[in-house]
Structure 1
Amino acid sequence: MSRPQYILKFVVITLAYALTIFAIAASFLFVPNQVDTISWVRTLIIIFASTLLAKYFFYMIVSPLETLRVFFARLHWRAERPYYYPRVSVIVPAWNEEVGIVSTVRSLMRSTYDNLEVVVVNDGSVDNTEAMVLQFAELFASKTKHSNTAKKIIYAAQPNSGKGAALNRAIAHSSGDIIISIDGDCIADKHAIRNFVEYFRDESVMAAVGNVKIANVHTLIGTIQSLEFLFSFYFKKADSLLNTIYIVGGAAGAFRREVFTKLGGYNTTNITEDIELSMRIQDAGMRIVYASDAIVYTEGASDLAGLKKQRLRWKRGRFETFYAYMHMFLSAHPRHNKFLSFLVLPLALFAEIQLLFEIPFVVFLYFYSFVATDFSSFISGIIVVSSMFFFLMIFEDKSTRRFSFYILAPIGWCLFYVMTYVEATALLRSVFGFITKEEVQWQKWKRTGIQA
Structure 2
Amino acid sequence: MLQKGRISSRSIINTVIAYSITGFILCLAYTQTSHETEFLANYRLVLTLVLIPIIIKFLIQLIAAPLSGVIDFFRDKPVLGQEPSVSVLIPAWNEEVGILNTLRSTLAADYNNYEVIVINDGSTDKTDQFLSEFIAQYNPNNPIKLRYFALENGGKAKALNHALQYANGEIVLTIDADSLMHPKAIRNMVKKFSSDKVAAVAGNVAIGNGHAGLGIIQQLEYLCGFFMKRADSVFNAVYIIGGAAAAYRRSVLIEAGGFDHNVITEDIEISTRILGMGYHCRYAPDAIIYTEGPSDLKSLCNQRLRWKYGRFQTFIKHRELFFNSSKTNNYYLSWLLLPTALYAEFLLLLELPLLTLFFTYIVYTGDYITLSLCILLISALVSFQTSYDSQPRFHMRMLYYAPIAWLIWYVVDAVEFQALLRSLKRLKRKEGLQWQSWNRTGLANPSPTESEKPML
TM-score (norm 1): 0.93
> Counterparts in 2 of 1:265-414, with a 5 A limit?
265-399=258-392, 402-414=395-407
- Cα distance, 1:245 vs structure 2: 1.4
d(CA) in 2 for partners of 1:400, 1:420: 27
- Cα distance, 1:267 vs structure 2: 0.5
Work out whether 1:138 is the aligned partner of 2:140: no
Over 3 Å counting, the alpha-carbon distance change for 1:109 and 1:177 in structure 2 is same
- Cα distance, 1:179 vs structure 2: 0.4
Q: Which residue of 1 aligns with 2:155?
A: 162
- Asked if the contact 1:392/1:400 (under 8 Å) is kept, the reply is no
Match of 1:220 among 189, 213, 223: 213
Q: Which residue of 2 aligns with 1:197?
A: 190
Q: Which residue of 2 aligns with 1:29?
A: 31
For structure 1, the residue ranges without an aligned partner over 5 or more in a row are none
SS at match of 2:289: strand
d(CA) in 1 for partners of 2:96, 2:25: 47
> Counterparts in 2 of 1:43-122, with a 5 A limit?
43-74=45-76, 77=77, 83-122=81-120
d(CA) in 2 for partners of 1:2, 1:285: 44
- Asked if the contact 2:223/2:386 (under 8 Å) is kept, the reply is no
d(CA) in 1 for partners of 2:145, 2:159: 19
TM-superposition CA deviations, 1:166-215 (whole Å, max 9, x none)? 11112122211110011111111011011112122433311111111111
- Cα distance, 1:448 vs structure 2: 1.2
d(CA) in 1 for partners of 2:153, 2:172: 23
- Asked if the contact 1:393/1:401 (under 8 Å) is kept, the reply is no
Over 3 Å counting, the alpha-carbon distance change for 1:260 and 1:12 in structure 2 is same
Q: Which residue of 1 aligns with 2:145?
A: 152
TM-superposition CA deviations, 1:343-379 (whole Å, max 9, x none)? 2111111111111111222233223322332223421
- Cα distance, 1:152 vs structure 2: 2.2
SS at match of 2:66: helix
- Asked if the contact 1:208/1:248 (under 8 Å) is kept, the reply is yes
- Asked if the contact 1:219/1:302 (under 8 Å) is kept, the reply is no
Q: Is the helix fraction higher in 1 or 2?
A: 1
Q: Which residue of 2 aligns with 1:417?
A: 410
d(CA) in 2 for partners of 1:409, 1:337: 34
Across the aligned residues of Structure 1 and Structure 2, the Cα RMSD in angstroms comes to 1.9
d(CA) in 2 for partners of 1:195, 1:59: 23
- Cα distance, 1:2 vs structure 2: 7.2
Over 3 Å counting, the alpha-carbon distance change for 1:402 and 1:162 in structure 2 is closer
d(CA) in 1 for partners of 2:440, 2:59: 36
Moved more, 389-398 or 160-169: 389-398
TM-superposition CA deviations, 1:243-285 (whole Å, max 9, x none)? 2211111111101111122111110111111111111101110
> Counterparts in 2 of 1:174-189, with a 5 A limit?
174-189=167-182
d(CA) in 2 for partners of 1:132, 1:312: 30
Percent identical pairs in the alignment equals 38
Match of 1:249 among 242, 246, 257: 242
SS at match of 1:235: helix
- Asked if the contact 1:92/1:170 (under 8 Å) is kept, the reply is no
For structure 2, the residue ranges without an aligned partner over 5 or more in a row are 446-456
